[in-house]
Amino acid sequence: MDESPPREPRDLYDPRSERRYPLDPLRWRGDDGTPLLVSPAQGLAPGDIEPGDRSLWRYRAALPVPPAAPGISLGEGCTPLLRRTWGGVEVGFKLEWFNPSGSFKDRGSSVMISALAAQGVGQVLEDSSGNGGSSVAAYCAAAGIGATILVPEHTSPAKTLQATAYGARVTPVPGDRDATAAEALRQAEHTVYASHNWHPYFLEGTKTLAYEIWEDLGFRAPEAVVTVAGAGSTVLGCDLGFTELLAAGQIAALPRLLVAQPANCAPLHAAFHTGADSPVAAAGTWKPTLAEGTAIKEPVRLPEVLAAVRRSGGTMAAIPEEDIATAVRRLAATGLYAEPTSATAAAAVDVFATRGDLRPGETAVVILTGSALKAPTATAKIVKGVV
């Protein structure tokens, strides 16, 4: 491994007030109730990667877990980057369903649960529309930690079954995704909250997407990354990772973040295109969507997600339900079985290409976040032509 300078101490900080807190995995928000981030890592050079570790822990030098603490790993990361032509555009599909529980959420869960396990935590609470909960349940099982997962009552049975199989206590909450989040905040007053939307360590795991894409491409950044957003953790993860690589002099520029949401529930898109940095009035009109993993009317980190997209020179698109369904079928016709949530990103490639946001000759990576095995009911309707 190359000689590297000593790593700078890191802390937790509030990007809105710039208030700082000691680095503590048990703290998931600021004293004033705002979400926190871990201060940036120094960034990695190729020689800092641990090549013998076939998981995201190959990037351990960029993660805020103590060197002596064991990483709770199920082999997450190192997912394929499959080069394909989509609607005449050359792209690389990053197949995140190859993660152990079937979605990209395993990246964040691995780092977050590792940090909590190192603190001796024995029980955690999480709220999720499905993938986040099943992922946290998997890593809690691996760590020997008890997990309670709150889910909206309409959550896909395949996702709740998976979390239950891992040994988690799954509790349905009446109402929509936001009602579940509100109940979790109430319960978090008296238990450890391992939230994939709130916990800053979760984003530290998600940022390994950026490091991995950089390594996949021969240690360079793509010109654009296309992803779907609900709470926006893939957006923020890519922003964190590529920003660290830029600061380390490993890439020349940030990739443009091209972000899709379903038109039926697109609060980030609505705020972005009105130039706002807070929710806009349209949020009250949102309807159910096939992309259930993104059905979040009030994203916790909305200002930070918008800032990341703007900082990258990126943009956003709202995708109609029929286009999401079409993308599921088009992907399946090429052998890629993507759930509707992640197929939204593929559908957006057509929109971004038409607008000129994806340009000929550039390298673009499309993140496909989860398998259609996670959403059998919605996928069956799509395949049968019901929607």
Q: Does residue 20 lie within any of the structural domains?
A: no
Q: Does residue 160 lie within any of the structural domains?
A: yes
- Look up the pTM and report it: 0.94
Residues 178 and 258 occupy one common structural domain: no
Q: Does residue 135 lie within any of the structural domains?
A: yes
Residues 209 and 313 occupy one common structural domain: yes
Question: What is the share, in percent, of the chain residues with pLDDT greater than 90?
Answer: 84
SS3 (DSSP) at 39: coil
When pLDDT is averaged across residues 137-155 and rounded to a whole number, the result is 95
When pLDDT is averaged across residues 114-123 and rounded to a whole number, the result is 97
The CATH code of the domain that includes 188 is 3.40.50.1100
Q: Does residue 57 lie within any of the structural domains?
A: no
Q: Does residue 230 lie within any of the structural domains?
A: yes
Residues 263 and 361 occupy one common structural domain: yes
pLDDT in tens, 66-93: 888 899 999 999 999 999 999 999 999 9
Across 49-58, 129-138, 153-162, 292-301, which has the greatest mean pLDDT? 49-58
pLDDT in tens, 257-311: 999 999 999 999 999 999 988 888 765 688 999 998 888 889 999 999 999 999 9
Q: pLDDT at position 347, please?
A: 98
Q: Work out the mean pLDDT of the chain and round it to a whole number.
A: 94
Of the candidates 206, 165, 200, the residue with the CA atom closest to the CA atom of residue 79: 206
- Answer yes or no: is pLDDT of 50 > 80: yes
Residue 232 Rama label (left phi>0; alpha psi -120 to 50; beta)? left
Q: Do the Cβ atoms of 78 and 55 come closer than 8 Å?
A: yes
Q: For the CA atoms of the chain, what is the radius of gyration?
A: 19
Q: Do the Cβ atoms of 50 and 78 come closer than 8 Å?
A: no
Residues 238 and 182 occupy one common structural domain: no
Residues 157 and 279 occupy one common structural domain: no
When pLDDT is averaged across residues 235-255 and rounded to a whole number, the result is 98
Measure the CA–CA gap between 229 and 104, rounded to whole angstroms: 12
Q: Does residue 9 lie within any of the structural domains?
A: no
When pLDDT is averaged across residues 309-331 and rounded to a whole number, the result is 98
pLDDT in tens, 171-187: 999 998 889 989 999 99
Residues 311 and 340 occupy one common structural domain: yes
Measure the CA–CA gap between 18 and 10, rounded to whole angstroms: 14
> Which amino acid is it at 275?
G
- Answer yes or no: is pLDDT of 156 > 60: yes
Q: pLDDT at position 6, please?
A: 54
Residue 177 parent element (H or E) = helix 177-187
Residues 217 and 366 occupy one common structural domain: yes
When pLDDT is averaged across residues 179-201 and rounded to a whole number, the result is 94
Residues 238 and 135 occupy one common structural domain: no
CA dihedral 229, 234, 236, 242 (to 10 degrees): -140
- Answer yes or no: is pLDDT of 97 > 60: yes
Give me 142's structure tokens: 């691996």
Residues 140 and 206 occupy one common structural domain: no
When pLDDT is cut at 50, 70 and 90, the band that residue 253 belongs to is very high
Q: Does residue 73 lie within any of the structural domains?
A: no
DSSP 66-106: -TTSPP--SS-----EEEEEETTEEEEEEEGGGSTTSBTHH
Counting Cα atoms < 13 Å in the Cβ hemisphere of 186 gives 8
Q: Do the Cβ atoms of 299 and 268 come closer than 8 Å?
A: yes
* Domains in the chain, number: 2
DSSP 121-180: --EEEEE-SSHHHHHHHHHHHHHT-EEEEEEETT--HHHHHHHHHTT-EEEEESS-HHHH
Q: Does residue 140 lie within any of the structural domains?
A: yes
Residues 179 and 116 occupy one common structural domain: yes
**Termini Cα distance of the chain:** 53
Residues 342 and 207 occupy one common structural domain: yes
Last residue within a domain, chosen from 184, 199, 214: 199
Residues 170 and 260 occupy one common structural domain: no
> Which amino acid is it at 163?
A
Last residue within a domain, chosen from 137, 168, 199: 199
Last residue within a domain, chosen from 163, 182, 199: 199
Q: Give the domain range for residue 219.
A: 81-100+202-383
